[in-house]
Structure 1
Amino acid sequence: MIVAEQLTKRYGRTVAVDGLSFAVRPGHVTGFLGPNGAGKSTTMRMILGLDRPSGGRALIDGRPYAALRRPLRQVGALLEGRGAHPGRRVYHHLLYLARSNDIPRRRVAEVLELTGLEGAAGRRAGGLSLGLTQRLGLAAALLGDPPVLLLDEPVNGLDPQGVRWLRDLLRGFAAEGRAVLVSSHLMAETAQTADRLVVVTRGRLIADAGVTEFVSGAASLEEAFLRAVGR
């Protein structure tokens, strides 16, 4: 699971994340919602050790990300789809990642099939469409068959078929007892995918609840969200 404890990030006088505490538990798809500039991406970067917290801490299965010996086997992450070197072929990008974390070579073929990239395995990453680039980022996140997934706007660039595929994948992932944190601005898709929500604004937690509880009394998740953030 993922645990954030009083997580704080300051940039000079600007507080991007302000004492944020929440948990992403196994068996759930947790939607991570907030307006632009709410601190979602910064929070995810701190969870993954890419930004150092100004205060508090973030743990994955009880340890900081930097302390994980083979991190791809424990947490799969997608923060930016274009993470592969543009000149590297899809297959070799995934093979390099697999070797760096002692993941069997056969797993590369498995995630290529899982993400629908078999036909693009020999293509260079820089020549992929936005949708295929996003699928490559997802393939990298799934490579270690991890118990935790952390995805920032994962449906960007995906066609309707791809969006449904990802929705089913994340639900199945949670049904296996794994923990999933998904940041999104798409309220309708989040309503269909997530069963829990963490909602932030101005770097502060304003809701940590089940989707049904959060939406109670509103016509939709979008209406409940706008009401919660004061818009």
Structure 2
Amino acid sequence: MSECSLTYTPLVSRATPMSPEERRQAIIAATLPVLLERGPEISTREIARAAGVAEGTIFRAFETKHDLIHATIHAALSPDAALAELAALPTDQSLSDRVAAVLDVLVANTARTRALFATLFGSRDGGPPPHPGKPPGHPNDARLRILAGAGEALAPYTDQLRISPAAAARILSALAFTASFGTAQPELDDSHRLADLVLRGIAEGNQ
């Protein structure tokens, strides 16, 4: 047997390349944190660094930086991620744990939306110019969809509630809005303590 026949060249498997849509979504996901930190003045070089791609890759996925920013805004304001989280909650949760989990989703979604609007409207140039394409849906549409999703998440516990799941979802949404600002009050900063407050009320003992 010759020495050459003993030579082994390992086969290096290549990662499956992303589809164009997968690449777009990956760039959008990497853009959001940078957009929230730096505002619309971010450069495509910063975005490329965050996404781990060459700057030219961005312009193969989006015609302009403003197209990318608007796509990122659309994605951030979409209720789809929050709805998926609500739908994926464990089915064996107690009512208290379910209320806390719903609050976690609502608080995170509200905080992200508030941060995005604060970044855009607080920017030096007033944010990106109007987009020539179809405008995003009204923010109230997303809010109503999330309220419906929260109500559906509470529906299995209907027999344990004094009000309808839809009404309970609205109350939790109002509390989530307050909690999304962050407070120095432990009862409002911890979802489980807030859930206990919702379920037991603010009265001391059995009033």
TM-score, with normalisation over the residues of structure 2? 0.28
Larger fraction in helix: 2
Between structure 1 and structure 2, the one with the greater Rg is 2
Question: Which fold has the larger relative contact order, with Cα–Cα distance below 8 Å and residues 6 or more apart in sequence?
Answer: 1
Is the strand fraction higher in 1 or 2? 1
